[in-house]
Structure 1
């Protein structure tokens, strides 16, 4: 099943259950949100989760592009991307968690044809403040899905204060053998869908009070599920990366971890540029700058003549089209090239800095922090420059 078909199946399934589709926002969160980028589908809906009536009603469904800087160091494994799409559903004070889970089970097993025997769920076990999520546990037991009870892994919050509640996560088995063990003990269980029951608010002093409006917020990673449905071993092998895998290896011969990082970060940088962010030394612009410079660090490690001006325009066009952005591909390439030139100039200064007597011996952590914070030199590039 291609990703576009997966999206349409998801949307139609929930539209048949009285959900209205809302247009996904850009990567930029709404005013007042403290995060740099939209990290989940719920961010644009925060006012409505707080109780404001939504113009389209109390049952919603959408596709939202997201960016998580917390996953940058994880990129290169089988399941993490910097920019990805999240399929989401919401009940704004309408139905409760068990119905959401029942519909989720139905979509996965009937709508998408997944063998129920390949599913596993996790449920909140309860703690000193809140009891166990017995309603979700009963739903999964009735469906014959094995359940693992956890505490921290199944309590969702949007920060130290604010809306929170238990969640139930659905995992899909990715191993070559019959399913075994549990999600917390075997990483062949891949989390695909999280159903959050926003039932409480955490106050400043840490106590919990019930929310006047109980919501359900679910999020399903599109590329992650697509790769599993397509029988691929990683998100980088699902169909949205087909043109990248076709063109990049012929352009820059790279080992698999480096290829994944380069494809992910360039694709993410294109999307960030397409949403109006420009390279800078702080905030969103610094995240973009870091993405581009991590790519260049990898490319130049083996061949300093490589550059983003080699990037085929087809990859830029494919990415902008997929994320429904109207920026001109030529403008994206121009901005990437300008950032590359800035980085090259920085490295020339970096070589001069590293030539100082202070940096001739073994570098300490303090040295690495100084070189990064004062001169903008990442650890990988410092190490590479000292080996020249």
Structure 2
């Protein structure tokens, strides 16, 4: 299954079961939301998960692009990306968790053709406030899927207070040979889907009260699902990302970080963000400068102007965006080259080894981040 087929299969499955499609077209949250970027498929729907009626009804489905800065340091491994897409379904007080799990199993096995023997799930096993999620446990058991009970790993919340509840995570086996172990004991089990049953509200004192009507929120990582369905070892080998892996004009020992950060930057710019020293613009600036630092480590003459235009156009088309990207890239590269030229002179005044105080001073006073200082010492 290619990307388009997977997305269509997911959307068609849920629309045929009464779900209405809602847009998930921007990384930017609604006005007044304090977060910098949309971090999950459910984020834009928070008011409706908390009780407000949605104009399209009580069953929804969408494809939402997301950005998580918390994953930046993990980018480069087989499954983490800065910008990714989440396939989501929601029951706003329409059907319960077990129904969501049964449909999930049907979609995976019948819709996507997943071998049931390659599935494993985790379920909330209970703590000192809430008992085990017997509804999910009984459902998976009846479907013949092995279950591992956990505690904190299967309790979802959007913060210290507010709606929360147990969740059930679905894993697929990505190792060679028959499955072994469990999701918490063998990392070859890869999580692809999470079903959250929001049944409680947590108060400032830590206590829980049941919600009058529970909701169900599910999120499936598109790139991870593609990796599994296409039999690849990483998300970078899927049809969605191989154009970037193969199309970069620079010979790099490992180009995963450059691929991720450049592609993510294109999407962020496509949503109207420009580099700056604060907020969303700072996240974009950090992504681009990490790319340039990596490129210039071996060859200071490398330039983002060499980026093939079809790569950028293909990504913008996939996300329903339009141009203006290269102007932003060239302007930020020009600014960063100026900083590097000035920084080389400043850094050369220091003797090895640099102290933490040296790094802090160069960053806070002159705007030269640690990784750039290290590169400048090597150049």
Could you state the TM-score of these two structures normalised by the residue count of structure 2?
Answer: 0.98
Q: Give the CA RMSD over aligned residues.
A: 1.1
Deviation at 1:377, TM superposition (A): 2.0
CA contact (8 A) 2:25 2:319 kept: no
CA contact (8 A) 1:11 1:61 kept: yes
Deviation at 1:205, TM superposition (A): 1.7
Residue 187, structure 1, aligned to residue 178, structure 2: no
Deviation at 1:94, TM superposition (A): 1.2
- In structure 2, the partner of 1:385 is 376
- In structure 1, the partner of 2:212 is 212
Deviation at 1:347, TM superposition (A): 1.2
- In structure 2, the partner of 1:128 is 128
Deviation at 1:127, TM superposition (A): 0.8
Match of residue 362, structure 1, among 336, 353, 356: 353
- In structure 2, the partner of 1:78 is 78
Q: How does 1:34-73 map to 2 (within 5 A)?
A: 34-73=34-73
Deviation at 1:101, TM superposition (A): 0.7
Aligned to 2:209, the other structure's residue is in SS state strand
Alpha-carbon distance between aligned partners in 1 of 2:202 and 2:357, rounded to the nearest angstrom: 38
Deviations 1:68-109 (A, max 9, x none): 100011100000011011000000011111110110010000
Match of residue 301, structure 2, among 296, 301, 305: 305
Alpha-carbon distance between aligned partners in 2 of 1:366 and 1:14, rounded to the nearest angstrom: 56
CA contact (8 A) 2:126 2:132 kept: yes
Structure 1, unmatched stretches of 5+, are none
CA contact (8 A) 1:30 1:43 kept: no
- In structure 2, the partner of 1:339 is 332
CA contact (8 A) 1:261 1:295 kept: yes
Aligned to 2:241, the other structure's residue is in SS state helix
Alpha-carbon distance between aligned partners in 1 of 2:206 and 2:360, rounded to the nearest angstrom: 34
Deviations 1:310-342 (A, max 9, x none): 0011011001000011x22xx211110100111
Match of residue 371, structure 1, among 338, 362, 365: 362
Deviation at 1:177, TM superposition (A): 1.2
Aligned to 2:181, the other structure's residue is in SS state coil
Alpha-carbon distance between aligned partners in 2 of 1:168 and 1:244, rounded to the nearest angstrom: 33
CA contact (8 A) 1:267 1:319 kept: yes
- In structure 2, the partner of 1:318 is 314
Alpha-carbon distance between aligned partners in 2 of 1:94 and 1:365, rounded to the nearest angstrom: 55
Deviation at 1:367, TM superposition (A): 2.6
Deviation at 1:350, TM superposition (A): 1.4
Alpha-carbon distance between aligned partners in 1 of 2:364 and 2:143, rounded to the nearest angstrom: 54
Alpha-carbon distance between aligned partners in 2 of 1:225 and 1:340, rounded to the nearest angstrom: 35
Aligned to 1:273, the other structure's residue is in SS state helix
